[in-house]
Structure 1
Amino acid sequence: MSNRAKNIIVLLLVGALVALAGCEKQEDAGGEAAEKTEEAKSEETTDEKEEAEVEELVFAFQPQANPEALTPDAEKLAEHLSKEIGVEAKVFMPTNYAGVVEALRAGNADVAYFSGWPYLVAHKEAGAELVVVEERDGKPFYYSQWYVSKDGDVDSLADLKGKDIAFTSPTSTSGYLFPLAKVIEEGLVEKQGDPKKFFGEVLYAGGYEQALKALVNGKVAAAAASDYAYDRYLNDEERAKIEVLTKQGPVPTHGIAVRGELSDEMTEKIKNALLTLNKPENKELLKSVYGAEKLVARTHDEHVGALSKALELVGDKDDQKAAEDKKADQDKKADQSK
């Protein structure tokens, strides 16, 4: 090969290397530019979230007893929090548990006070973030119980085969999830099975009080509710008619969560305002809503980890929301017919 040919080959190789290096540099520069653009967008989004001014907060309260009876106390609590936070506040009182979750998801509520299972759904579907939880008897949990009539013939869960029973709601933690999980654990209903294949009529009463009074009034053979509902919603005469059949749990206490779009600054203000309810002069105000004794800060993982086993047994089914929607429609039609 001539010297001239060799020189040409060398020049071509050098040129190729230079071009390749240029391409790599361009790619690196392009990648860095893209990363900076994404970072800028992220920072811009964060800044927008943090700088968004909140002029009004909507507090949603999970229904347990008669919503109309709960509303005045809820409004007093919201008024107190409004003064502490420095923004206007109003109360939203849905007719069922699913309404609380949907309000957060749709941005129609900013803060929600609800039980563990609906909170989990809201965390998943609406990005809800837990800020504080209740303490009862000094603990962030309570128990679910099956109640039966003292004069009845039910001595075990197995005796409920074919009998009418009352749950509170298909999305209630202590009034559905844990009591049904107990029935499944005893082998009376298949894992993630339909409770209607074991019980007679399954009534979704709408709250603890309604479920317990359905039992007291002889409409059902058993009712599921929280342990504290017995003292809170029944008088002495009514309590004398029923007794506890089984106890299951522990169940995470109710928590208060905010929708994910609220800024960190506003979330902190809400948390601090809620914790002022622990002051001696505010204790009765806190207790008036759901009977809580104290609020404490607690993380998502700390508080709802115990739900996993019950959810695995019962299943997180879409038809639970459908059942609740059906119950709401039935109530609406009943009201219209009056």
Structure 2
Amino acid sequence: MSEQNLQSSQSRRKFLVTAGAVGATFAAGCTGGGSDQAFGDGTVDFNVSPSVAQENLEAQYTPVQEYLSNELDADAEMQLANNYSAVIQALGSGTSDVAETGPFAAALGAESDRAEIVLQRQGYGSWTYMSGIAVRRDSDIDELSDLEGETIAFADPLSTSGALFPLYGLSNDGGLDIGNLPTGDGSGADFTPNFAGSHPASYETMANGQAAAAGIGGFVQGLKEGADTNPWGETAEWLWTREGLPRAPIVVSPELSEENKNAVVDAFLNAPDDIYWGVDGEEGTDDDLWFNAVREAGVEKYQPVIDAANELGVGTDIFQQN
């Protein structure tokens, strides 16, 4: 992306990068304008999930913001949510039009009519990914049952790979009682949960000795391979993994008109590759997005996630608790 193009779009760029941006909107009492007004104010509100680091938001998402602004003929505002529940609730209320979020949150959002899954994202050449539970290499923990009585770090309660499937593994493969997790505070669990808020934070909690293990997405290993502190190879190893999880979707508000929903879908399907390459416009650099393609998808693509949630007794009431 040229410097001239970047400068010419400054008037249209409206990044809200505080971690509590969506929560602040709720606190102000804002409500959606209804499906007939979704783009009527000339704005497309796009929520970004808490898996994105706040300091990376503008560098990574500027090309997406600019592209959507041009394609949809409306200002695209990027808001970083403080948790997955906030993303789904904003979509349901109409205060957000489009969002990228995790499979678990999206599936529950679709089930509760708060969100509609329209696209799936591809990352690192695959439409699927891995969840796992990591421990420190110097740990004496050899199997899941050894985590009884320990503290276990997780990402967000609505994270697929950072909570749902690690909890599923602890329960089904480790024989541990997960109590009222992930919807509650961990009462009755055979371990103490620590929801760190993001995958990197969950990893660091474990790596720094504040937790015996961390439930995280498999992509964290790649993020930490060459890290200056707590690099994966010297610090961590997998205790348990689950492969084949469907990669995360892009969802829209049920308040969107069919015309506006189709416009969003078509914009992403027809997007050039360089919207995924960050502000420097170069592929393979630090500001690239983790995903590099999309395809049309519906809630049925996420049936494995729904099945795991059902088996753990997790329902849409989680939105009233987060």
Q: Given the two structures, how large is their TM-score scaled by the length of structure 1?
A: 0.73
- State the partner residue of 1:154: 141
- The residue correspondences of 1:1-338 to structure 2 (distance < 5 A) are 54=40, 55-186=42-173, 188-190=175-177, 197-233=188-224, 235-236=226-227, 237-239=230-232, 240-277=234-271, 279-285=272-278, 288=287, 290-301=289-300, 303-317=301-315, 320-321=318-319, 325=322
Cα distance in 2 for residues equivalent to 1:135 and 1:126: 25
Aligned length: 275
Q: Which secondary structure does the structure 1 equivalent of 2:112 belong to?
A: helix
- Give the 3 Å change call, closer, same or farther, for CA 289–263 of structure 1 in structure 2: farther
- Residue identity opposite 2:215 in structure 1: A
1:149/1:242 contact within 8 Å kept = yes
2:39/2:74 contact within 8 Å kept = no
1:191/1:313 contact within 8 Å kept = no
CA offsets per residue over residues 263-304 of structure 1, 9 Å max, x none?
222212111211244x34334149847501321112221x11
Q: Which secondary structure does the structure 1 equivalent of 2:277 belong to?
A: helix
Q: Rg: which structure is higher?
A: 1
Q: Which secondary structure does the structure 2 equivalent of 1:57 belong to?
A: strand
Bigger mean CA offset, 144-153 vs 224-233: 224-233
- Give the 3 Å change call, closer, same or farther, for CA 282–66 of structure 1 in structure 2: closer
| Higher normalized helix content (fraction of residues) | 1
- State the partner residue of 1:22: none
Q: Which secondary structure does the structure 2 equivalent of 1:92 belong to?
A: strand
Q: Given the two structures, how large is their TM-score scaled by the length of structure 2?
A: 0.77
Q: Please state how far the C-alpha of 1:52 moved relative to its aligned partner.
A: 6.9
- State the partner residue of 1:3: none
Q: Please state how far the C-alpha of 1:309 moved relative to its aligned partner.
A: 2.5
Cα distance in 2 for residues equivalent to 1:74 and 1:103: 20
- Residue identity opposite 1:122 in structure 2: G
Q: Please state how far the C-alpha of 1:260 moved relative to its aligned partner.
A: 1.5
Structure 2: runs of 5 or more not aligned: 1-33
Q: Please state how far the C-alpha of 1:262 moved relative to its aligned partner.
A: 1.5
- Give the 3 Å change call, closer, same or farther, for CA 53–192 of structure 1 in structure 2: same
CA offsets per residue over residues 207-264 of structure 1, 9 Å max, x none?
0010011111111110011111221256345212101111114222111111122122
Cα distance in 2 for residues equivalent to 1:283 and 1:53: 24
1:92/1:109 contact within 8 Å kept = no
Cα distance in 1 for residues equivalent to 2:317 and 2:261: 33
- Residue identity opposite 1:298 in structure 2: A
Cα distance in 1 for residues equivalent to 2:198 and 2:319: 15
- Give the 3 Å change call, closer, same or farther, for CA 88–51 of structure 1 in structure 2: closer
1:61/1:92 contact within 8 Å kept = yes
Q: Which secondary structure does the structure 1 equivalent of 2:291 belong to?
A: coil
Q: Which secondary structure does the structure 2 equivalent of 1:305 belong to?
A: helix
**Kindly, what percent of the aligned residue pairs are identical?**
24
CA offsets per residue over residues 186-224 of structure 1, 9 Å max, x none?
252348755554444210000001001111111111001
Structure 1: runs of 5 or more not aligned: 1-47, 326-338
- Give the 3 Å change call, closer, same or farther, for CA 161–53 of structure 1 in structure 2: closer
